[in-house]
Chain A
Amino acid sequence: MRRLALVALFAVAALPAFARGPECRWSKTWDEALAEAKARNVPIHVTFHKDG
């Protein structure tokens, strides 16, 4: 029973990591974004967020 509980606990803890699929690729800096967008001739998607 204790082992089962441990397995369940591990499964729940690991779930976000397994559930997370691929994400879009984010630039590390604004200057890097500009340089890459110019090199590739593509638009820039900028998104602003706040916690909570």
Chain B
Amino acid sequence: MDSSVYANKDFVAASKRWVNVYCSKDSGHGTEKVGDREMCKIHPGITCEDHISCNASAGGKFFQGTFRAPATVWCTPDGKEIGKQQGGMSAKQVIEKMAEAEKVVGPGLDSDSYVYLLEKLAAGEKATADGKVKEAVDLYAGILKAMAKNPAAKSWTEKAQGALDQLVEGAKGRIADAVAAKDAGDFAKAKELLKSVQTEFKGQPVAKDADKAMAEVTAAEKAAGKK
């Protein structure tokens, strides 16, 4: 199954709709260097320690005593068995069994979107923590745009929207501070605050609020100059 199933292009494409766990207590097949790490020679995406650990954790859950390998199990997201088969299976057979499991579980998030969301949300959090507001806004806005038509990503887009909303609240606070500075006659400070919102939130509705406030500051400054 190793070469006939897991590298099959139809299987690889379909497998993005599930989580895949490879279990083997054997390591005699050896390793190969990938970058600076020694990875499993059969499946270079994981180490032999990984598949040995998975075998130790998952083995006893689905088979008692000896069983005929290869064996395949398909289960729910919390690890409850839906079905299993001992002996080899073709890529088509595994895809069919996993499609049955998908019907039991319901619509889910594909692995490409999952990896994208994890990466971008983490980058957004880091940018926010580092005070790089424009970068964070662009990351969260990018998530919302990319996942707008993916209903399985709803909880993730809600996280991105929540994080963006918090940044927007900060921008609204800066606009309020700018208005206060304008009223106090500190036009330079008002402009500086508004300029930062215009730059960092370009393309967001709050940037339009900053544009409007900037026009008011310019008008007030002009009026003050005439006095």
Binding site for B on A (CB under 8 A): 20-31, 33-34, 36-52
Quick check: B29 and A51 within 8 Å, CB to CB? yes
Q: Which residues of B lie under 8 Å from residue A29 when comparing CB positions?
A: 50, 53-54, 57
Q: Considering the complex, give the chain A residue whose CB is closest to the CB of B67.
A: A48
Taking the closest CB of chain B, its distance from the CB of A49, in whole angstroms, is 4
Beta-carbon contact of B18 and A44 below 8 Å: yes
When chains A and B are docked, how far (Å) is the Cα of A2 from the Cα of B46? 38
- 16 A-B contacts (beta carbon < 8 Å): A21-B7, A24-B6, A24-B15, A25-B15, A26-B20, A26-B21, A26-B45, A27-B20, A30-B57, A31-B57, A33-B20, A37-B78, A40-B109, A41-B152, A44-B77, A47-B71
Name the A residues within 8 Å of B114 (CB-CB): 36, 39-40
Q: Besides the contacts A37-B77, A49-B22, what 15 more A-B pairs have beta carbons closer than 8 Å?
A: A22-B9, A27-B19, A29-B53, A29-B54, A30-B79, A40-B110, A40-B152, A41-B109, A42-B102, A43-B19, A43-B82, A46-B62, A47-B21, A47-B73, A48-B67
Q: Which residues of B contact A38 (CB under 8 A)?
A: 77-78
B79 and A44 contact, CB distance less than 8 A: yes
Give B33 Cβ to nearest chain A Cβ, in Å. Answer: 11
User: Are A45 and B152 in touch, CB under 8 angstroms?
Assistant: no
* Docked-complex contact B58 and A43, CB < 8 angstroms: no
Q: Which residues of B contact A (CB under 8 A)?
A: 1-2, 6-7, 9, 11-12, 15-26, 28-29, 43-47, 50-51, 53-55, 57-59, 62-63, 67, 69-79, 82, 94, 98, 101-102, 104-111, 114, 152
CA distance A44 to B128 in the complex (A): 34
When A21-B7, A47-B22 are in contact, do A28 and B69 touch as well, CB less than 8 Å?
A: no
Expressed in whole angstroms, the Cα–Cα distance for A50 and B69 within the complex equals: 6
A45 adjacent to B43 (CB under 8 Å): no
Give bound CA distance, A28 to B23, whole Å: 10
Which residues on A sit within 8 Å (CB–CB) of B82? 43
B74 contacts A24, C-beta separation under 8 Å: no
**Which residue of B26, B77, B102 has the most chain A CB atoms within 10 A of its CB atom?**
B77
Q: Are B73 and A46 in contact (CB under 8 A)?
A: yes
Q: Are A48 and B69 in contact (CB under 8 A)?
A: yes
With the chains together, A22 CA to B16 CA distance in Å?
12
